[in-house]
Amino acid sequence: MMAETSVHRPGAQPPDNRVSERAAESTFREVDDTERAIPAIEFREVTMVFDDRKVLDNLSFKVMKGETKIILGGSGCGKSTTIKLVLGLLKPDSGKILVDGEDITNYSEVEMMRVRKKIGMIFQEGALFDSLSVYENVAFKLHEQGVPEDQVENEVRRMLRFVNLEPAIDKMPAELSGGMRRRVGIARALVGDPKIVMFDEPTAGLDPPTARTICELAMKLRDLEDVSSIFVTHEMNNLDYLTSEYAVVNEAGEVVFETEGEKLCLINCKVLMMRDGQVIFSGTDETLRKADDTYIQKFLRGH
Ligand SMILES: Nc1ncnc2c1ncn2[C@@H]1O[C@H](COP(=O)(O)OP(=O)(O)OP(=O)(O)O)[C@@H](O)[C@H]1O
Ligand SMILES: [Mg+2]
């Protein structure tokens, strides 16, 4: 459950340290470590062809449990295609796609519906239903499932609190700013507490402080809820926030963000850079910044 106060451990640990972290916890909780070793998402040599063009060319990568994988890459390099493949909205021409160790490559639409229940999707434009209120937008999935209204209201309020938007519950999307709409989209995606969340350029077109709040939400999910995610972006500020800060709950019970500083590799966030459907970099942000590849350096500098 996504209770605001339930924290398993402050700060994120790298996947490699999970075993010792879990060992520390095992005094009060039984933990299956073999389960954690299975990636939340795995692509194995995935190729996707559109109109005789390889949009993804033998793409392989893993997103470990609790990890945020930032996907960087220029327009048209295949980032959204990658996300659509995870959701089963597209099928690859070759290769395998696994979600929680389950090979979904050849799943039917009915089988994919079960898999999609554990995945939250945040679309670039927020993709709200304009004729429905904030409440009805966030409640949409629950209404479809016929959940009783008092439970729906509790859940909607909990999600809107998570994105700091409870006061907007009765507003219509047209009355909201772009950043608020994006946050409602996030609240809607988080209904049902998905353990995997995909962000497709969630801060595009937002001002820096609003973009920052979206990154904070992603860090809260990563560090306080153990969510695994793919975060597609080409904004370097997002990369900086997600790789250098982590969320913790302080003694007053408030969520605060701390900087990693010199404590290297505490944050469970890795970077994948794509170019023309291939991985050109995979690793930590520190290694990325040191890479001597001219394309990577130009990308990081922004010119
Ligand atoms: N359904 C489709 N049919 C044909 N071509 C497609 C389709 N979807 C994507 N493409 C092409 O595949 C390439 C990759 O598209 P994709 O949307 O994955 O890029 P992207 O990395 O998300 O780019 P952006 O940063 O602009 O969002 C593009 O050249 C695009 O035109
Ligand atoms: Mg895209």
Q: Mutate which of 75, 80, 272 to test ligand 1's pocket (most atoms within 8 Å of Cβ)?
A: 80
Q: Determine if residue 218 is left, alpha or beta; phi over 0 gives left, psi from -120 to 50 gives alpha, anything else beta.
A: alpha
Instruction: Kindly state if the Cβ of 238 falls inside 6 Å of ligand 1.
Output: no
Instruction: Kindly state if the Cβ of 89 falls inside 6 Å of ligand 1.
Output: no
Which residue has a Cα nearest atom 2 of ligand 1? 50
Position 101 scores a pLDDT of 95
pTM attached to this predicted model: 0.85
Which residue has a Cα nearest atom 7 of ligand 1? 50
Which residue has a Cα nearest atom 10 of ligand 1? 50
User: CA-CA distance, 123 to 189, in Å (whole number)?
Assistant: 9
Instruction: Kindly state if the Cβ of 229 falls inside 6 Å of ligand 1.
Output: no
Cβ-proximal residues to 101 (8 Å cutoff; 6+ apart), any chain: 38, 39, 42
Which residue has a Cα nearest atom 9 of ligand 1? 81
Instruction: Identify which of 43, 33, 107 has the alpha carbon closest to the alpha carbon of residue 66.
Output: 33
Q: What angle do CA 130, 136, 139 make, to 5 degrees?
A: 130
Position 297 scores a pLDDT of 92
Q: What is the mean pLDDT of each run of 10 residues along the chain (303 residues)?
A: 42 44 48 80 97 94 96 92 94 97 95 92 80 95 90 94 92 91 90 93 85 91 94 92 93 90 75 94 93 92 82
Residue 124 alpha carbon, nearest atom of ligand 1: 27
Cβ-proximal residues to 217 (8 Å cutoff; 6+ apart), any chain: 162, 163, 183, 186
Cβ 62 vs Cβ 97: under 8 Å: no
Instruction: Identify which of 106, 31, 93, 90 has the alpha carbon closest to the alpha carbon of residue 65.
Output: 31
Position 145 scores a pLDDT of 85
Distance of CA 302 to the CA centre of its chain: 24
In which residue are the tokens 């353990």 written? 195
User: CA-CA distance, 146 to 302, in Å (whole number)?
Assistant: 48
CA of 273 to the centre of ligand 2 (A): 14
Q: Are strands 68-72 and 228-232 parallel, antiparallel or unpaired?
A: parallel
Which residues have a beta carbon within 5 Å of ligand 2, which is an ion?
Answer: 79-80
CA of 84 to the centre of ligand 1 (A): 10
Q: How many CA atoms lie within 13 A of 32 on its CB side?
A: 3
Residue 82 alpha carbon, nearest atom of ligand 1: 18
Position 68 scores a pLDDT of 97
User: CA-CA distance, 233 to 296, in Å (whole number)?
Assistant: 14
Residue 277 alpha carbon, nearest atom of ligand 1: 14
Position 70 scores a pLDDT of 97
Q: What per-residue string of b and e applies to 103-127 under the rule 16 or more CB within 10 Å gives b?
A: ebbebeeeebeebbeebbbbbbebe
CA of 77 to the centre of ligand 1 (A): 7
Position 35 scores a pLDDT of 77
Instruction: Kindly state if the Cβ of 55 falls inside 6 Å of ligand 1.
Output: yes
Position 13 scores a pLDDT of 44
